[in-house]
Structure 1
Amino acid sequence: MEVVYTEKPGASFVYGWIFGVIFMGGISYWLTVLPGGYIGWTVYCAFYSLYPAGFCAVMSWLKDKLSHRYIITGTVPFIWVSMEWIRSCGFMGFTWINLGHSQYNFLELIQISSITGVMGVSFLIVAVNNVFREILSFNFPDRFKSGTLKNKKEIIIYTLIVIVIFISTISYGFFELNTSHIEGNSETKIAIIQPSIDQSIKWDKRHQGDIIKKYFSMTREASLHHPDIVLWPETAIPSFLLLDNELMYSIRTLLKEVNTFLLTGTVDLVPESRLIFNTALMLSPEGNLVEKYHKMHLVPFGEYLPGRKYLERMSALKEVIKPISRFSSGQEVVIFKTPYIKFSTVICFESIFPDISRKCMLKGAECIIVLTNDAWFERSAAPFQHNIISVFRAVENRTFVVRCANTGVSSIIEPTGKIIDSTPIYEEKILYATIYPHAGTTFYTYYGDVFALFCFIICNGLLLYTLLIEGRACVKHLKKSKGKYNFYRNKIL
């Protein structure tokens, strides 16, 4: 912010981009462990750093244009949230580690997510830090030159406004933490199987028999606790399970033995269309298919290649893009119904997008189950970051979120965002959970990122107003002086 308020928009954009590269590069270093990861990591850092760069440039421009100090200072969190919201949109939208995710353990604060989503938490972080910036700039003007409020009265008023918002948020948090978010006494016992299959052998047919034996053995062990549903992770069966009669017979026999529902990840081939899907399917205790869900939001360049049919026409690229998966996207969320609970499944990457979980809850799900395979990221921070993001899916929708991960982190998260239990990474583990249907529907579930949209509208309204007034001043000045008008230095308001 020191740079934003002391440099011109162009320089602020550059400094913001450099900050973004350092920040994005630090939180996503794990991309380098993927095949071709350094290229992906470089592109990711360069592209997504445009958002903090845009934030810095806009703030710097407004500082040059506006003389009303309250507007300049008060706009900061609105613009930050607008940039986070824009970053979440479109097929390249990416909501991995927003600023608000850093507070996942501050349960009293993050309860506001049931109204605003995680971006409401980001708003508060920026607003509070902005207060400290103003206080430091006022008291140490020689060291901090970014202050916009010039007297003690202005700083006190702004500080009090932020304190009232913060205390109101915390009070709401205390209220929600002491409110029951479960409906009735109906409980469902779940066993989460974390087999810890290394990615290097997961898709190797030579190891498939041993992998299946491990799942069977761990499921039999879990059955001693009499679970209602057993979970296997994303692509636990790395083959077309529904077309493999021999394997289906073995699983059917197992389920009759342990008398439980099984939710597992697999790969599904639709014979009529020859389309391949990353799939979650549920089998009954008799081994019959109950329901299946095809992953809707695929990983660009990992599970599918945007514009593949055009790129394949280029002979130079044909062999380069050949190894990239050809998964197709599912079209709708699915409700899995059992005698105990109705739930929806999101697969891996989908759990970072709040809108998918919202649609699940609006369709009638009573909890969310995440199946994932984070073995791709080895022993990096990615599995832990992925788990943190699921905390906000629980709070936003006031529902239990259960995560089943191949190598971890598997976890059980309460509707308040409290992580009841979780596993270490790269450790064979069975996690047992008792979950309950959620009670009621939250504001966020109904309306989604309306708070972020409100911030976006406020920012665009201010920018439009600034441009209109600036344009009028420009025309008036040109008519009067018949000279040049300095668009960057003139202040309006």
Structure 2
Amino acid sequence: MQAIAQRILLLHGWRRALVALVAGALTALAQAPFHLFAVGFVTFPVLVWLLDGATGATPGRPAGALRSAFAIGWLFGFGYFTAGLWWIANALLVEAPEFAWAIPLAVTGIPALLAVFWGLGCVLARLVWSDGVGRIAALAVGLGLAEWARTFVLTGFPWNAIGYALMPSPVMMQSIVLGGLFAMNAAAVLVFALPAQLGAERRRSAAAALVLCAVLLAGHVGFGVWRLGLAPDRAAIDAEAPVIRLVQPAIAQQQKMDASARQDTFTTLLDLSALDAAPASSAETGAAMAAESPRRPDIVIWPETSVPYLLTREAAALAAIGDTLGPEQMLLTGAVREEPGEEDGTVTGRYYNSVMAVSGDGVIAGAADKVHLVPFGEYLPLAPLFERIGLNAVAAADRGYSAAPARAVIDLPGGPTVLPLICYEAIFPHLSAAPAGSDVDAIVNVTNDAWFGRTPGPWQHMHQSRLRAVETGLPLVRVANNGISIAVDPFGRALARIGHDERAVADVQLPAPTEPLRLGMGRHGNFWLFLATLTAIALAGRAGWGASRGRP
């Protein structure tokens, strides 16, 4: 292993760049739908060895080493994000004549921008680099901060955060309650990179690193086993708990956008909603679960922007919904909400990507609008500039969406209080926390992954959404127009699932939230405490490294 590490360390030029790029691309296999997390134990040591060789053109000039570290981190990140996010371009093929020109920007531009975070993370790590475990801690701090910044800089896009790679199944998801996704990002880098010490000359150092890696991984899995062992049985749900129906119409995006097909789309949703009680299915096997719902659903959920009409204008559509629902049933549906307005004699309106609650008598009983819009998808940043060259937002037709000023919950009459998360809002940990003063019973995530076809995108989206349930202790119901619809309990265990391209419904009783596990300083405090500890280890390693090299 020392020979391999030395060869990688000494690489230069295009060979060095290629190894960084390929290692990053292979790391994407650790994410959904592959979940080959073991690949991280190979690719992250390669990253460490490449950074070991990050030296400047002039000996003793640190700026050159930092430039080299940025290049290595950027190339590794570019490979990772390109291999993990190439499917975004599929959304541009839905309206290929208008947006096909932007496919190269989607495939390479977004990864190139996201890779900057990893490049800067490697620069930060290189500032306190050493020749032992301290440099592994430094890399965990650098990339941990990079992934944290990726949630809010330039509106944020924390898709495929590296921590998800260490949480492929419920037993490996539970550690997220200790420090949240941000701590899991740093922990994943630490665990994956520790085997880099196999390339060290000192055998005791290599053995200690492997033992630490094994202890951390065993603790991660062991904590999951312990916590799931204390969790209630999935079938042990209060008989009075509301029955939720997940409706996945599996309608092609082209049909959704076809004005002449609106009635067919709407009829499909109504027909699925009116079906007799449907059994939930196991997310892992697809088989029907033993306990089928004995009654009609109390709450029916349709996916994002599923209603092909503006409900505030279409009394007939509301009446049709009322005719389909029973008197005690409620519908939660993704829909476009219009807010009419007038300014200086000109009719101006705002449109919101919304979740609406419709009662059994066809009355809109509540609504919550999307807070975090997709740049270039639902709105145009610097709109006057881009509109001047004829550019529109991909998913917003010619109107664009407005963002809600704050998150809102929906109190269902006689039912639970739900926190709606629309589309990729579910990948932002801070958006899944209940708003101040709200007592939330469940998270409802409506989405439309039909934009992305049968690519890794829908599976990645589902997996990341699923972690919000574990993180918050709230059950989550996720309903997609197409993709993967799923209901999970507060421990991330699947209660119902509808697969990709399946037009189906599934009924499931909503489990109760679980009491949040509060340890130490809470999730956010524990994250910063964890980074502080890793930073101390990195600085100690740097001091020891300097002393061993005769530095003061």
The answer on 1:33 being equivalent to 2:90 is yes
The answer on 1:5 being equivalent to 2:52 is yes
| Aligned counterparts, 1:18-57, within 5 A | 18-35=75-92, 36-57=102-123
Q: CA deviation at 1:26?
A: 0.8
| Aligned counterparts, 1:185-196, within 5 A | 185=238, 186-196=240-250
| Aligned counterparts, 1:148-297, within 5 A | 150-180=201-231, 185=238, 186-222=240-276, 225-256=295-326, 259-272=328-341, 274-297=349-372
Q: CA deviation at 1:92?
A: 3.0
- Inter-partner Cα distance in structure 1 for 2:496 and 2:454: 20
Indicate the residue corresponding to 1:320 in structure 2: 391
Tell me which moved more, 180-189 or 31-40. 180-189
Q: Give the AA of the match of 1:212.
A: F
Q: CA deviation at 1:310?
A: 5.2
Task: Check the 8 A contact 2:304/2:447 in 1, yes or no.
Answer: yes
The answer on 1:94 being equivalent to 2:157 is yes
Long gaps (5+) in structure 1: 139-149, 474-489
**2:376 counterpart SS class:** coil
- Inter-partner Cα distance in structure 1 for 2:505 and 2:212: 48
**2:338 counterpart SS class:** strand
Indicate the residue corresponding to 2:95 in structure 1: none
Q: CA deviation at 1:283?
A: 1.3
Q: Give the AA of the match of 1:179.
A: L
Indicate the residue corresponding to 1:104 in structure 2: 167
- Inter-partner Cα distance in structure 2 for 1:239 and 1:90: 35
1:225-260 per-residue CA deviation (whole Å, 9 max, x = no partner) reads 500101111001133112212212222222247x41
Indicate the residue corresponding to 2:60 in structure 1: none
Q: CA deviation at 1:55?
A: 2.7
Tell me which moved more, 206-215 or 75-84. 75-84
- Inter-partner Cα distance in structure 1 for 2:242 and 2:161: 32
Q: CA deviation at 1:154?
A: 3.6
The answer on 1:397 being equivalent to 2:467 is no
Number of positions where the alignment pairs a residue of Structure 1 with one of Structure 2: 452
Indicate the residue corresponding to 1:476 in structure 2: none
- Inter-partner Cα distance in structure 2 for 1:364 and 1:283: 21
Q: 1:418 to 1:245 in 2, by over 3 A?
A: same
Q: Once superposed, what is the RMSD of the aligned Cα atoms?
A: 3.0
Q: 1:132 to 1:289 in 2, by over 3 A?
A: same
The percentage of counterpart residues that share the same residue type is 22
Task: Check the 8 A contact 1:391/1:413 in 2, yes or no.
Answer: yes
TM-score after normalising by structure 2: 0.75
- Inter-partner Cα distance in structure 1 for 2:550 and 2:110: 37
- Inter-partner Cα distance in structure 1 for 2:115 and 2:406: 32
**1:74 counterpart SS class:** helix
- Inter-partner Cα distance in structure 1 for 2:539 and 2:225: 39
1:79-106 per-residue CA deviation (whole Å, 9 max, x = no partner) reads 2211111111234311111122123333
TM-score after normalising by structure 1: 0.83
Tell me which moved more, 104-113 or 379-388. 104-113
- Inter-partner Cα distance in structure 2 for 1:228 and 1:362: 26
- Inter-partner Cα distance in structure 1 for 2:126 and 2:217: 26
Task: Check the 8 A contact 2:134/2:537 in 1, yes or no.
Answer: no
Indicate the residue corresponding to 1:128 in structure 2: 191
Q: CA deviation at 1:167?
A: 3.6
Indicate the residue corresponding to 2:286 in structure 1: none
**1:328 counterpart SS class:** coil
The answer on 1:117 being equivalent to 2:187 is no
Q: Give the AA of the match of 2:54.
A: E
**1:238 counterpart SS class:** coil
1:157-186 per-residue CA deviation (whole Å, 9 max, x = no partner) reads 444444444443333222210223699835
The answer on 1:348 being equivalent to 2:439 is no
Q: Give the AA of the match of 1:172.
A: F
- Inter-partner Cα distance in structure 1 for 2:167 and 2:79: 22
1:300-352 per-residue CA deviation (whole Å, 9 max, x = no partner) reads 0110111214555xx4x2x2347565100012222222323221111001011
Q: 1:325 to 1:163 in 2, by over 3 A?
A: farther
Tell me which moved more, 433-442 or 228-237. 433-442
| Aligned counterparts, 1:358-373, within 5 A | 358-360=433-435, 363-373=438-448
Task: Check the 8 A contact 1:84/1:119 in 2, yes or no.
Answer: yes
